[in-house]
Amino acid sequence: MAGKDFILFNLFSREKRRYKDFLPCNALLAVADGYLVPMEKVPDEVFSQKILGDGVAIQISSQTICSPANGMIDTLAPHAFGLVLPNKIEVMVHIGVDTVSMGGKGFKVLAAEKSQVKQGDPVIRVDKDFLENKGFNLITMVVVTDARDFQFRYSAEGTVQAGKSVLATYEKCV
């Protein structure tokens, strides 16, 4: 009996696992806190018509934009970045509609081009109040620009948390 008690004690005294330990490794996570909407509802035809690729968008409520997955930042602008995952999937994160016209004002780049990032790592900080006062819609698109041989399933509308909520899962096509 003493042996069984010891085993039970060890089962319950293990180090707590983090929330991220339970997330699927083949997932894109939310890049910011906010409300998830389908790409078709983005008020920009380039995105809503999926000209650059399929994905989802977040009406952001936070100011830090994070990496949706592990990978390398391939391209970086104050208002957007491109990410290449280890499996060669390419993802673009674009902050706001027509924000390129600000020439970088209202954005602070936190990562470097060609750097390695992990899911949830901060990449860009947004001065949300400044940009919204200028009339910009800061809906942030997460677009799969090259899916390779993978099939994506995108999450439905709802509240999301940066680095925690799953935006999409993917699996290799057979």
Kindly report, residue by residue over 110-122, the tens digit of the pLDDT.
999 999 999 999 9
- pTM for the whole structure: 0.86
- The residue type at 30: A
Average pLDDT for 51-69:
97
**94 given a catalytic annotation:** yes
Name the percent of the chain in helix, strand, coil, to the closest 5: 20, 40, 40
Over residues 96-108, mean pLDDT: 96
Residue 10 pLDDT > 70: no
**Under a CB-based contact definition with an 8 Å cutoff, are residues 38 and 128 in contact?**
no
pLDDT tens digits along 38-55: 999 999 999 999 999 999
Q: Under a CB-based contact definition with an 8 Å cutoff, are residues 37 and 158 in contact?
A: no
Which residues, in sequence order, are CB contacts of 6 under 8 Å at separation 6+? none
What is the pLDDT confidence band of residue 24, given thresholds at 50, 70 and 90? low
Instruction: Determine the Cα–Cα distance for residues 163 and 8; give it in Å rounded to an integer.
Output: 33
Write down the pLDDT at residue 173: 83
Q: What does the alpha-carbon distance between residue 125 and residue 131 come to, in Å, rounded to a whole number?
A: 12
Candidate CATH numbers 2.130.10.10, 3.30.1120.10, 2.60.40.420, 2.70.70.10; the one for domain 23-172: 2.70.70.10
Whole-number pLDDT of residue 167: 95
Rounded distance between C-alpha atoms, residue 70 and residue 60, angstroms = 21
Alpha-carbon distance of 123 to 131, in angstroms, equals 18
Catalytic residue among 42, 89, 94, 111: 94
H runs (alpha helix) in 52-114:
none
Domain boundaries, the chain: 23-172
Residue pair 71/28 in contact by the 8 Å Cβ criterion? no
How does pLDDT run across 139-162, given as a tens digit for each residue? 999 999 999 999 999 998 999 999
* 44 compared with 13, residue with greater pLDDT: 44
20-29, 57-66, 117-126, 139-148: least confidently modelled range: 20-29
Gap between the terminal Cα atoms of the chain: 51
Residues 163-171, mean pLDDT to the nearest whole number: 94
